[in-house]
Structure 1
Amino acid sequence: MILLLRSVLGVLLALGVGSVARASDPVAPEARTSPEPRLVVTSPTDASRQLLDVPTLVGATPSAAVVVHPDDVRQPWWGTGATLTDSSVTLLRDRPDLLKTLFRGPAAGGARLNLLRLPLSATDFSPWPWTWEPRGSTARPPAEARDAASLVRSIRKIRPGLRVIGTPWSAPASMKTSGTVRGGGLADAALPAYGQLLVDQRRWLRAHGVPLWAMTLGNEPGYSTDYPSMTMTDQQMVALADQVGPAIGSTRLWALDHNWSDRGRVDALLGATSAFDGAAFHCYGGQPSQMAGLAVPRLVTECTGTTDGAPGTFAWDAKNLVADAVAAGSSGLMMWNLALDPTHGPVDPGSQWGCRQCRGLLTVSPAGPEIREPEFFTLAHLGRAAAPGGRVVGVDAPSWLSVAAFRNPDGSVGVFGQNRSGAPQTVSFAVGSSTRTYPIGVGEMFSYRLPAS
């Protein structure tokens, strides 16, 4: 992952629509919708207002209105998630309570995640640079991959509708121009062997209870550094897609898995082959508007917080990762590490350039209770507004409200948003003939859910 502070990134608004290329999968049912409309808020400064239900204001004059258009149906919504790095495996494997906090659908204070990104090699959050190695006619996973698969099976018991996205950071050293897992590029001569490795990984994971819903060919194929990483040319990715896509059955194959600023590479890949079912983007360069206008679905598969505080994180996430990204056609949002320790690790001890300031959704310490970080609340509110299998719909709101709206499989309508006006607001939510008004504090993130009539 390229370590760039998100605060320097600009944003633009754009619109886009995607369609699912492969057959749709069943979606696990969500917790039963409340029989009454609900507004839940989280303050960036007041710990007593975290995922707090707020009562309706009766007879109040609103200072702003959010108007949802549930018949203005746009792209599908796949859900929210984060990455199960080796660091996260270490911190979560003996903590079923934290797995429930992250993944359990009806958890009152939980994130309600349904997507999981699974590294298929070591990352900068690994104890050493491991990869799968071909052995004979197939490839076998090392202990790290087996440990992760075991934890995925535990998560699946908590979240039956879990969808896993597999991504390698590097091919084995023998397949690279550098002769090492740390940096370098994929060797042209190794293309068939690397493609077969991806197919073998998919087969093993599915056979061992990992619901591998999608794959990418490699993480950040334009970046090489001193931790497990690997560059690939567009020509290499096209050749791999033509080999791997037909061989992985119902598992989707997504293009790129790099920054918004790499949109040109996505256009080149999609123009050269029909093997890709979607495109994956990261938040470390460019603008969310650069995802707009693609003929395939797209989503954000990686973004991380660093040392910024909750007020700035709430404002940045809500505008860039949700409002602007959804307007540009995004069908989901995934963050980086599920969990890290108080030192932002454990990290790869052999790397000088790995992220030393990355923040997990949870900070887990053996000496005290876990800390739910700002990104946790971004996903928690998005998960309360939008259920997997729903659709994005149109919404009108003042410019100082970063919002996105959804029509869910159970018929309910949800709104995610954040008040960046700098003042408390009284906001009305209008959906058809239903209008409710609520107070929303300075900088607060919120999710509104109106049950089906």
Structure 2
Amino acid sequence: SFLRLSIGASDLSEGCFSYDDMPEGQSDFDLADFDLEAGDIEVIPLLQDILSINPDIKIIATAWSAPTWMKTNRSYIGGKLRPDCYAVYAAYLVKYLQAMREKGITLHAITPQNEPLNQKNEPSMIMEALEQADFIKNHLGPALQEADLDEVELFCWDHNCDVKEYPLAVFADDDARRYLSGSAWHLYGGDISVLSEMHQAYPEMKLYFTEQWVGSDGEFGGDLLWHVKNVLIGSLNNWSRIVLEWNLASDPFCGPHTPSGEARCVGALTLGEGISRNVAYYVIAHASKFVRPGSMRIYSDKHASLPNVAFLTPAGHIVLIALNNGATPLAFAIQCNGKNAFATLPARTVATYVWKAA
């Protein structure tokens, strides 16, 4: 029910590109050379196919870097957005949203920068908290409103749980916060409980968990258990409204990726001679098949030996996702509306239980 796109290239593109690349030493402040079909030309037809199957699917888009002519180092790796390019970069993002709409693709949300404190990825761009607040309140937010795109939700941060000070600083700026719907999160650092701290500080701000990748050097069982516990159950129990794994698909060699991009990212699917379903596929499937959009998280007892999360769905079902992370089988009771059910989870197992609410 939810997809994440890169605006221009991500590190899982074949090479770096933007929608307005210019020869060395040249700029395009009028965006006259903007071209939505630069780079990954397969993405738009694929999205159109997806939307023909499920027109209600929501899409969030994230920029890994501005075009290099807008950056202090004129490189796709690191560097910052030049102060004199704040306005044109906002116009660039607006033009992207408008061009996508012309292709029949309406985006639900954007974040202006993926991992704004990561300067090593390819592509990447540094954007400090006060810089992001400035960009949002003085440029991107007003540009979205002026273009009648203010229904596109805008999220700050889009990075790890170990630097909560960053989104807190952005939210502390009242003029920036009024354009924001919330903050986006990854879990390559810190603890997922930080999301609850953010909710307590700004309960009106949404929390989206937007990225966690599975490495080819991992082990299926261990990775599945860690992701279910921390990413799926963890983020949902800490007020996240969505859970996204990264990435949707890769080839048998974890490609494509940029030369210095992440070379170990296993897609939810591996596409080769056939299709292989991997860790991320099963993490998401445990929720997405049963916890449909509009579901509400409801109370369930918290047990260290049995991480779990429960929902009431629009169809009137209760869904319980439970994890036995231990080395022995675990028997437990499910109590709901005066009735009991008994279950046993084998060691190192996740299960989804579904029953009618009444």
Does TM, scored on the shorter chain, surpass 0.5?
Answer: yes
**Cα distance in structure 2, aligned partners of 1:180 and 1:333:** 32
Give TM-score, length-normalised by structure 2: 0.88
Q: Report what 1:439 is aligned to.
A: 344
Q: Report what 1:301 is aligned to.
A: 210
Contact conserved, 2:308 with 2:322, CA < 8 A, in 1? yes
Contact conserved, 2:18 with 2:39, CA < 8 A, in 1? no
1:362 and 2:249 correspond: no
**Cα distance in structure 1, aligned partners of 2:230 and 2:357:** 29
Give TM-score, length-normalised by structure 1: 0.71
Aligned partner (choices 217, 220, 224) of residue 314 of structure 1: 224
Query: Which residue type is aligned with residue 246 of structure 2?
Result: W
Name the SS of the counterpart of 1:167 in structure 2. Answer: strand
Q: Report what 1:172 is aligned to.
A: 67
Q: Report what 1:424 is aligned to.
A: 329
1:134-157 Cα offsets, whole Å, 9 max, x none, are 584663313335531221111112
Contact conserved, 1:361 with 1:374, CA < 8 A, in 2? yes
Quote how far apart the aligned CAs of 1:445 are: 1.1
Equivalent runs, 1:224-373 vs 2, <5 Å:
224-225=119-120, 227-242=122-137, 243-246=139-142, 247=144, 248-272=149-173, 273-274=176-177, 275-294=179-198, 295=202, 296-306=205-215, 307-348=217-258, 350-351=259-260, 354-366=261-273, 369-373=274-278
Equivalent runs, 1:184-195 vs 2, <5 Å:
184-195=79-90
Specify every segment of 5 or more residues in structure 2 that has no aligned partner in the other structure, as ranges: 21-27
Query: Which residue type is aligned with residue 357 of structure 1?
Result: R
1:395-444 Cα offsets, whole Å, 9 max, x none, are 01532111111111122111112111321233332221333223322111
Percent identical: 26
Specify every segment of 5 or more residues in structure 1 that has no aligned partner in the other structure, as ranges: 1-113
Aligned partner (choices 14, 19, 32) of residue 127 of structure 1: 14
Q: Which has the higher contact order (CA 8 A, sep 6+)?
A: 1
**Cα distance in structure 1, aligned partners of 2:66 and 2:352:** 41
1:186-231 Cα offsets, whole Å, 9 max, x none, are 1111101101111111111122111300000011111112611111
**Cα distance in structure 2, aligned partners of 1:374 and 1:175:** 38
Quote how far apart the aligned CAs of 1:158 are: 2.2
1:234-272 Cα offsets, whole Å, 9 max, x none, are 232112212223413211000101111121100000111
User: 1:226–1:256: structure 2 CA closer, same or farther, 3 Å change rule?
Assistant: closer
**Cα distance in structure 2, aligned partners of 1:400 and 1:422:** 11
Query: Which residue type is aligned with residue 120 of structure 1?
Result: I
**Cα distance in structure 1, aligned partners of 2:104 and 2:278:** 30
**Cα distance in structure 2, aligned partners of 1:226 and 1:214:** 23
Mean Cα deviation higher: 258-267 or 242-251: 242-251
Quote how far apart the aligned CAs of 1:380 are: 0.3
**Cα distance in structure 2, aligned partners of 1:427 and 1:224:** 47
Query: Which residue type is aligned with residue 217 of structure 1?
Result: P
CA RMSD of aligned residues (A): 1.8
**Cα distance in structure 1, aligned partners of 2:209 and 2:219:** 22
